Amino acid sequence: MNLKIFLKTAVKAVKEAGRIQRERFGENFKIEHKGEINLVTEVDYQCEKAIIDIIKRDYPEHEILTEEAGSVKTSSNSRYKWIIDPLDGTTNYAHSYPCFCASIGLEMDGEVVAGAVYNSMLDELFTSVKGEGAYLNGNRIRVSKVSDINKGLLATGFPYDIRHSKENNLNHFCNFAVRAQAIRRPGSAVLDLCYLAAGRFDGFWELKLYPWDMAASSLIVKESGGMITDFKGGEFSIYKGEMLATNGLIHQDMVDILKLG
């Protein structure tokens, strides 16, 4: 099966969402609260609708899972599921901080086989098809060759329930802060993972993520030569919520530091 046919639809959809994000950036749009610090904007909904419309036009029988609308079922039991984050980095976007993207991954028989991520502000398109490598604007990308955690630039994020839950990643952040060269917290897990795939970051960890945060970006990391597990080094799933992703060379070091709790 030629999976690149599906990738063309994903690319078309993320670019349309990116166009909307770029055009409305800095506007006075409507902002709602899904939680105490969890935002959603009317741009999220606008991008989501645009993406769903494109996918339904090309593949009306396919299932869709998206951040705002949830699961969009069809009448048939499809092998395919499109997993969508229409605007990853909503808080950044709401504050006119230019670090956000649109992300689409395609699952076939429960496995992510294609993915596209578009950073409209930098015009960066990350793409991947299973078994065929990862690309940035058509150029092959690979993870870094940093093998010493002391020289590693890491990325992470914090869950929305940080004020109320003890599982808030602050302990891991402190442990890594004194072991790595530096840590960044840009505010878009999807872009963090794409930057890891491109060799800009050497490692990434985060908890309480959602499938749409990891679907496309996890494939891009794997196809760039990266390694992904849970915090203990065990099997990874986009439905578990916990992710450790690295260039492979510092993976065990990061597992050991995460064990410190």
pLDDT tens profile 88-108: 999 999 999 999 999 999 999
- Residue 7 makes CB contacts below 8 A (sequence gap 6+) with 106, 114, 115, 116, 127, 129
Task: Give the domain-ending residue among 141, 165, 198.
Answer: 141
CATH number at residue 10: 3.30.540.10
For residues 128 and 198, membership in a common domain is answered with no
Tokens at residue 14, please? 């993320």
pLDDT tens profile 227-238: 999 999 999 999
Task: Give the domain-ending residue among 93, 111, 141.
Answer: 141
Instruction: Please give the backbone phi and psi of residue 209, each rounded to the nearest 5 degrees, phi first.
Output: -85, 170
For residues 106 and 160, membership in a common domain is answered with no
For residues 242 and 134, membership in a common domain is answered with no
Tokens at residue 229, please? 């597990």
For residues 33 and 94, membership in a common domain is answered with yes
Q: Which of 210, 182, 171 is nearest to 88 (CA)?
A: 210
Percent of the residues in the chain that have a pLDDT greater than 90, as a whole number: 89
For residues 11 and 95, membership in a common domain is answered with yes
Instruction: Please give the backbone phi and psi of residue 214, each rounded to the nearest 5 degrees, phi first.
Output: -120, -15
Task: Give the domain-ending residue among 141, 161, 180.
Answer: 141
For residues 169 and 225, membership in a common domain is answered with yes
For residues 105 and 161, membership in a common domain is answered with no
pLDDT score recorded for residue 74: 67
Q: How far apart are CA 77 and CA 179, in angstroms?
A: 48
For residues 77 and 107, membership in a common domain is answered with yes
Q: How confident is the model at residue 4 (pLDDT cuts 50, 70, 90)?
A: very high
For residues 162 and 248, membership in a common domain is answered with yes
Is the pLDDT at 75 greater than 70? The verdict is: no
pLDDT tens profile 139-159: 999 999 999 999 999 999 999
Domain extent, residue 10, equals 4-141
Tokens at residue 56, please? 């339904």
For residues 118 and 212, membership in a common domain is answered with no
For residues 14 and 89, membership in a common domain is answered with yes
Q: For the chain, how many structural domains are there in total? A: 2
For residues 83 and 170, membership in a common domain is answered with no
CATH number at residue 239: 3.40.190.80
